[in-house]
Chain A
Amino acid sequence: DAGVIQSPRHEVTEMGQEVTLRCKPISGHDYLFWYRQTMMRGLELLIYFNNNVPIDDSGMPEDRFSAKMPNASFSTLKIQPSEPRDSAVYFCASSPRQGVGYTFGSGTRLTVV
């Protein structure tokens, strides 16, 4: 099993540009989570999906952020337009069902200049 796969590993973009982060969960995992980690705020849950349906997006900072899960094997987190304060490491995680441990991806380090 390749685990949770995220791409790209690093992204540097200019303020105002659109950024798309990608995630492939582990096959058979029904839950998918997007987290953001910064030194100041730690690890924050942005949104999670169950069976491809967004369940809770209350952690999404603002309308500039959107997430989709068109099928069970792919999810995207989009930031448009990006701002320097969006610079962080974004993690995707998946789990087979509620209540069990998550498997995290290696993250995408986003730098907005």
Chain B
Amino acid sequence: LAKTTQPISMDSYEGQEVNITCSHNNIATNDYITWYQQFPSQGPRFIIQGYKTKVTNEVASLFIPADRKSSTLSLPRVSLSDTAVYYCLVGDPFSGGYNKLIFGAGTRLAVHP
């Protein structure tokens, strides 16, 4: 399983765009990148998954450069309610190993008024 590295914490203010970058230098050809969000006292929530270039949904965008050694989760115009821990996971969804993805410490995002 590819090892991931992301910042331990980030601070932002309401209305700003937040970009959280995850490094995964040893990503394999069949690996996808998946992001989860966890609010206090709740279970993680799936946000977005992608393989290359750009993926966008109603919550966030995921940017993946051509070499795929990193990825950036972009949250547009954050609000106080976006304060959470964000996890980056990398794995091959067609492999049994995907079911054992490691969540790691995640990035603790604090949004301030």
Chain A residues at the B interface, C-beta cutoff of 8 Å: 4, 31, 33, 42-43, 45, 48, 55-56, 59, 91, 93, 98-107
Partner of A101 from B41, B42, B49, B104 at Cβ < 8 Å: B49
Residues of A within 8 A of B46 (CB): 101-103
Instruction: Please report the C-alpha to C-alpha distance between residue A33 and residue B100 in the assembled complex, in whole angstroms.
Output: 10
Taking residues whose C-beta sits less than 8 angstroms from the other chain, chain B's interface range is: 20 to 34
Tell me which of B16-24, B70-78, B91-99 binds A.
B91-99
Q: Which of B36, B44, B93, B100 contacts A56 (CB 8 A)?
A: B100
How far, in Å, is B50 (CB) from chain A's closest CB? 12
- Secondary structure at the A interface, as helix, strand, loop or mixed, is strand
Q: Among residues 37 to 64 in chain B, which have CB atoms less than 8 Å away from a CB atom of chain A?
A: 41-46, 49
Contact among B44, B45, B93 for A98, CB-based, below 8 A: B93
Instruction: Using A48-B99, A98-B94, A99-B32 as known contacts, list a sample of 13 further A-B pairs with CB atoms less than 8 Å apart, ordered by residue number in A.
Output: A42-B103, A42-B104, A42-B106, A48-B100, A55-B96, A56-B100, A91-B44, A98-B93, A98-B98, A99-B93, A102-B46, A104-B42, A104-B45
Kindly provide the distance from the CB of B34 to the nearest chain A CB, expressed in whole angstroms.
7
B42 x A106 contact (CB < 8 A): yes
Residues of A within 8 A of B103 (CB): 42-43
CB distance from A40 to the nearest CB of B (A): 11
CB–CB A56/B99 < 8 A:
yes
B105 lies within 8 A of chain A by Cβ: yes
CA distance A31 to B45 in the complex (A): 16
Complex Cα distance A10/B43, Å?
Answer: 14
